[in-house]
C-alpha cells in the first residue's frame, strides 16, 4: 500500500542505460557539474552587476535557477544508478521525483513564453519598457509561472496516485516519468492519458502560441526600423532566446506527443536526455556567447578579479621585499656594532 492506492509494488527499478556505464557516468557527471557552475555563475553575475538589473536578466536568472532544479531532480539519481547493479527507487520517492521535475519543467516552459513577451515589449516600446515591465509586474509573471507549474504537477501526481501497480516494477527509463509508468499499471490509465494530453497540450500550445505571436509582432516592429544596424541590434537580442526555445520545445514535443508504445522507449530516453540533462547545461552558454551585454559584463568581472589578484600579488612582493630590506639593514647594523 502506497499513496492511498492498492499497489503491491513498493519500489521501482529504473533500468536506465545498460552499456558503457562507466563512460556514461563520467559524461553525465561532467555535464551536471558544468550545468551547476554555468547556471550558478549566470545567477551570481546577474545579481552582482547593476547593469543587468533589467527585466530580461531577471527572467534569465530564474531560468538558470529552474535549469539547476530540473537537472538536480534527475541527474543525481541517474549517476547513482550507473554505479549500482540495480537502480532502485521507492514508490514515494518515484512520485516525489516526478512531482518536482514536473513543477520545474512546466514552469520553464511558461517562463520562456513570458520572456518572449518581454522581448516584444522591449522592441515595440523601448522607451516605456521599464515602466511596462516594472519589477512588480516581473515578479507577478514569475510567481504565476511557478503557480501554473505546481498546479500542473499536482494534477498529474494525483492521477498517478490513483493507479495500482501490481508488478512488474521494472521502469525502462532513467527517471520516473508518466509514459513508462503507465505501461506498468494494472489499472485503467485512460484518465491519466487524457490528463496528460489536455494539460500538457494546453500548456505547450498556449506557450507556443504566445511565443509565435510575440515574435510575429517583433518581426513587424523590426521591419519598421529604417536602419540596417538598428534591425540587426534589435533582432540580435532575440537569437539566444530563440535557440533556447528550439532546444526545450523540440525535445519536449517529441517526448510527450510521441505514441505510447514499447518499441519507442529507447527513443524516449534519448529525447529525455536532451530535455533533462543537456538543455540545462547549454542555456547559460547560449546566453553568454550570443549576448553582448553578458559577455562584456563577464569580461569586466574577470578583469576586475584578475586585477585584484595581481595587485594582491604585487603588495605581497612589496611586503616581502620590505622585510628582506629591513633584515639586511638589521644585519649591517649588527655587523657595524
Write the pLDDT tens digit of every residue in 23-48. Answer: 999 999 999 999 999 999 999 988 98
Which position has the higher pLDDT, 269 or 263?
Answer: 269
What's the pTM? 0.82
pLDDT band at 125 (very low <50, low <70, confident <90, very high): confident
Does residue 217 carry a pLDDT above 60? yes
What would the grid cell of residue 245 be?
A: 526555445
Q: CA geometry: angle at 186 spanning 261 and 202, to 5°?
A: 55
Indicate the pairing of strand 11-14 with strand 170-171.
parallel
Name beta bridge partners: 89: 12
pLDDT band at 313 (very low <50, low <70, confident <90, very high): low
pLDDT (mean) for 53-62: 91
Would you state the pLDDT for residue 326?
54
Domains of the chain, start order: 11-312 (1.20.1070.10)
**In angstroms, rounded to a whole number, what is the distance separating the alpha carbons of residues 259 and 306?**
54
pLDDT (mean) for 60-80: 94
Helix, strand, coil percent content, the chain, rounded in steps of 5: 80, 5, 15
**In angstroms, rounded to a whole number, what is the distance separating the alpha carbons of residues 166 and 71?**
30
Would you state the pLDDT for residue 248?
83
Which position has the higher pLDDT, 240 or 332?
Answer: 240
Does residue 323 carry a pLDDT above 60? no
8-28 confidence digits (pLDDT tens): 788 999 988 877 889 999 999
Does residue 289 carry a pLDDT above 80? no
pLDDT band at 239 (very low <50, low <70, confident <90, very high): confident
Mean pLDDT of the chain: 82
Highest mean pLDDT among 88-92, 178-182, 284-288: 88-92
Whether the bond into 168 is cis, omega within 30 of 0:
yes
Lowest mean pLDDT, pick from 59-63, 208-212, 252-256: 252-256
Would you state the pLDDT for residue 96?
95
Which position has the higher pLDDT, 207 or 272?
Answer: 207
Does residue 304 carry a pLDDT above 80? no
pLDDT (mean) for 232-246: 77
Amino acid at each position: 500500500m502506497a499513496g492511498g492506492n492498492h499497489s503491491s509494488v513498493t519500489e521501482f527499478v529504473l533500468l536506465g542505460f545498460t552499456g558503457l556505464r562507466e563512460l556514461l557516468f563520467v559524461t553525465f557527471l561532467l555535464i551536471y557539474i558544468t550545468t551547476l557552475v554555468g547556471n550558478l555563475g549566470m545567477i551570481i553575475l546577474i545579481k552582482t552587476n547593476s547593469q543587468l538589473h533589467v527585466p530580461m536578466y531577471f527572467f534569465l536568472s530564474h531560468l538558470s535557477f529552474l535549469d539547476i532544479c530540473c537537472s538536480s531532480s534527475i541527474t543525481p539519481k541517474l549517476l547513482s544508478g550507473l554505479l549500482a547493479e540495480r537502480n532502485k527507487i521507492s514508490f514515494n520517492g518515484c512520485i516525489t521525483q516526478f512531482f518536482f521535475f514536473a513543477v520545474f519543467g512546466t514552469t520553464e516552459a511558461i517562463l520562456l513564453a513570458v520572456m518572449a513577451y518581454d522581448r516584444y515589449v522591449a522592441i515595440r516600446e523601448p522607451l516605456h519598457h521599464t515602466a511596462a515591465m516594472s519589477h512588480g509586474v516581473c515578479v507577478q509573471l514569475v510567481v504565476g509561472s511557478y503557480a501554473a507549474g505546481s498546479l500542473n504537477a499536482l494534477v498529474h501526481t494525483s492521477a498517478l496516485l490513483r493507479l495500482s501497480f501490481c508488478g512488474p516494477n521494472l521502469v525502462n527509463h532513467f527517471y520516473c516519468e508518466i509514459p513508462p509508468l503507465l505501461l506498468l499499471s494494472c489499472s485503467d490509465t485512460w484518465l491519466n492519458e487524457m490528463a496528460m494530453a489536455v494539460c500538457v497540450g494546453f500548456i505547450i500550445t498556449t506557450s507556443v502560441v504566445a511565443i509565435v505571436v510575440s515574435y510575429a509582432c517583433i518581426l513587424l516592429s523590426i521591419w519598421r526600423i529604417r536602419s540596417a544596424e538598428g534591425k540587426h541590434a534589435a533582432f540580435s537580442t532575440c537569437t539566444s532566446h530563440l535557440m533556447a526555445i528550439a532546444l526545450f520545445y523540440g525535445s519536449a514535443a517529441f517526448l510527450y506527443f510521441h505514441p505510447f508504445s514499447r518499441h519507442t522507449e529507447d527513443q524516449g530516453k534519448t529525447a529525455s536526455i536532451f530535455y533533462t540533462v543537456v538543455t540545462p547545461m547549454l542555456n547559460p552558454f547560449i546566453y553568454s556567447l550570443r549576448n553582448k551585454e553578458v559577455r562584456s559584463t563577464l569580461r569586466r568581472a574577470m578583469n576586475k578579479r584578475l586585477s585584484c589578484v595581481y595587485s594582491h600579488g604585487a603588495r605581497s612582493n612589496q611586503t616581502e621585499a620590505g622585510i628582506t630590506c629591513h633584515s639586511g639593514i638589521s644585519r649591517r647594523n649588527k655587523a657595524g656594532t
